[in-house]
């Protein structure tokens, strides 16, 4: 399946809203649930408008992972530090497309975009120690484990902690 990354714009609000609704329950199995208000159309549009302001200020970049004109995922750069050429990356793929290597491919496409256009040379990512698929995505794209949180917390009945990864161009 061919995928492309599209920078978030107002033109993508409707497809993104649909993507978030369709995958809500699936995402909530892996990350804490968003507030119910996030899924109300007016509130969602306000959140997206705020993200566009953040993106215009170059504090973050928000990309949609698209296949056949359908939003199948998101990949974001946040906490951008242009002085030190680094940012944090986060991603999510819809349930229908999980397990097909598309999250890994989207990370690869973002890395290429960083080298060519955005002048960011270091990416940070974190994932739960129990989220093996995310760890595999990161390591298969050249990320190295650089830190393990010593503090744990309860998540879905288990004691978990964060693993921190880094990639350098």
- Can you spell out the DSSP letters for 62-116? EEEEEETTEEEEEEEEEEEETTTTEEEEEEEE-GGGTTSSHHHHHHHHHHHHIII
Mind listing the pLDDT tens digit for each residue in 19-73?
A: 999 999 999 988 878 889 998 999 999 999 999 999 999 999 999 999 999 999 9
Residue 156 confidence (pLDDT): 83
Taking 80 as the threshold, does the pLDDT of residue 143 lie above it?
yes
**Tens of pLDDT along 76-121?**
999 999 999 999 999 999 999 999 999 999 999 999 988 777 789 9
Residue 155 has pLDDT above 90, yes or no: no
Confidence (pLDDT) at 124:
98
What token pair was written down for 145? 């484990």
Task: State the pLDDT at residue 55.
Answer: 97
Distance (Å, rounded) from C-alpha 169 to C-alpha 156?
36
- Quote the pTM value: 0.91
pLDDT of residue 107: 98
Which is higher by pLDDT, 138 or 155? 138
Q: Read off the pLDDT of each residue in 4-25 and give the average, rounded to a whole number.
A: 97
Say how far apart CA 119 and CA 99 lie, in whole Å: 30
| Whether domain 4-168 has CATH 3.90.850.10 | no
Domain borders along the chain are: 4-168
């Amino acid at each position: 399946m061919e995928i492309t990354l599209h920078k978030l714009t107002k033109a993508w609000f409707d497809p993104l809203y649909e993507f978030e609704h369709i995958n809500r329950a699936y995402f909530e199995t892996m990350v804490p649930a968003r507030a119910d208000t996030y899924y109300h159309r007016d509130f969602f549009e306000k959140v997206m408008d705020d993200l566009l302001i953040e993106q215009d200020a170059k504090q973050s970049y928000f990309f949609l992972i698209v296949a056949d004109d359908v939003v199948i995922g998101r990949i974001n750069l946040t906490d951008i530090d242009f002085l030190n050429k680094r940012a944090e990356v986060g991603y999510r793929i819809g349930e229908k497309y999980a397990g097909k290597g598309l999250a890994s491919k989207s990370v690869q496409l973002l890395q290429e975009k960083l080298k060519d256009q955005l002048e960011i040379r270091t990416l940070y990512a974190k994932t739960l120690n129990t989220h093996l698929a995310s760890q595999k995505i990161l390591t298969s794209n050249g990320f190295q484990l650089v830190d393990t949180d010593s503090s744990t917390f309860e998540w879905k009945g288990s004691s978990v902690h964060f693993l921190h990864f880094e990639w350098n161009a």
